[in-house]
Structure 1
């Protein structure tokens, strides 16, 4: 009689357990990340410019001097630090930047931002950021936009055969960096 109850217990329990597990797996696989990893890229003449970043969304949050603090180094994206790669040497703000991969960091502030390209590109957020590894730092003015950019978005565009522009937009702000192929 004990064996009959045990078999009956297994018969009733196992299918419902298996269905429950399957249901959870299905739910987890359809959940989209809140800050998906994405990229932006373009050819500027023979220079392939590629940016890889985590793209968080505003989702009703206070972004500037809220989620993203003023006066502190920011990975300019979510999770892993944003990186940029140039397939050719470029000139930025009268300084030559050799082809290669760089961490793209910023220091946001209300009226002026600092854009930083660092030799260190593979890190979580700006956890291991070190100023001594900066390749270039330059000041830019953020531009207010009238239309919200819900998900943080980078763009690379060719201005002509030699010149290009990298822009980052999020919420009601855009910051841009111009470069020239060498």
Structure 2
């Protein structure tokens, strides 16, 4: 009987110490959580054309130009640079882009925004951005939103146009499948 009790005690000590040793320290939710948008956006359709994954910074009373400075390369979101994956060859803003994954950068300006696809991958922010890694640069059409967009957001409309919105600014880039008229 004493052997059984001793075995139970040893097992309990090992279990408790192992659980403590392997316990996780879970991080709090990021202030700018990751999000994704796809086309088509219906979850029942698995044959996607494209997907963008990006961080969602929030204005929190700050000015858009402080967070996405004019005439400077911006990571297009928060934290890691946004990444866009094309599962099929497309025309992005009228320029040919082969299927693959690219980082998405922008250069905001008062009149329009330059939207850049880059071969750089898995990069933090825009700090290591190199223009020689650009695949294409296109001009994104700028329009105003009647509502304030607190958290930076991306979506694809029914025509597969990429829409990026923040504050009262919306940037649009048309996307079409190769072989289809833009």
Answer yes or no: same fold by TM over 0.5.
yes
1:43 paired with 2:40, answer yes
Alpha-carbon contact 1:104-1:121 (below 8 Å) kept: no
1:105 paired with 2:105, answer yes
Alpha-carbon contact 1:82-1:121 (below 8 Å) kept: no
Distance 2:156 2:142 in 1: 17
Distance 2:70 2:40 in 1: 33
Alpha-carbon contact 2:141-2:173 (below 8 Å) kept: no
Distance 1:129 1:54 in 2: 17
Alpha-carbon contact 2:53-2:83 (below 8 Å) kept: yes
Q: What is the RMSD computed on CA atoms of the aligned residues?
A: 2.0
- SS of 1:141's partner is strand
Q: Deviations over 1:8-48 (max 9, x none)?
A: xxxxxxxxxxxxxxxxxxxx969432100111112399552
How many corresponding residue pairs?
150
- SS of 1:132's partner is helix
- SS of 2:166's partner is strand
Change (3 A) 1:121 1:59: same
Distance 1:134 1:30 in 2: 34
Instruction: Please list, as runs of the form range in 1=range in 2, the aligned pairs for 1:157-168 lying within 5 A after superposition.
Output: 157-159=157-159, 164-168=160-164
- Normalised by the size of structure 1, how large is the TM-score? 0.76
Corresponding residue for residue 180 of structure 1: 176
Structure 2 gap ranges (5+):
1-24
Instruction: Please list, as runs of the form range in 1=range in 2, the aligned pairs for 1:48-67 lying within 5 A after superposition.
Output: 48-64=49-65, 66-67=66-67
Alpha-carbon contact 1:47-1:181 (below 8 Å) kept: no
1:33 paired with 2:30, answer yes
Corresponding residue for residue 86 of structure 1: 86
Change (3 A) 1:94 1:152: closer
Change (3 A) 1:47 1:29: closer
Corresponding residue for residue 73 of structure 1: 73
TM-aligned CA deviation for residue 156 of structure 1: 1.6
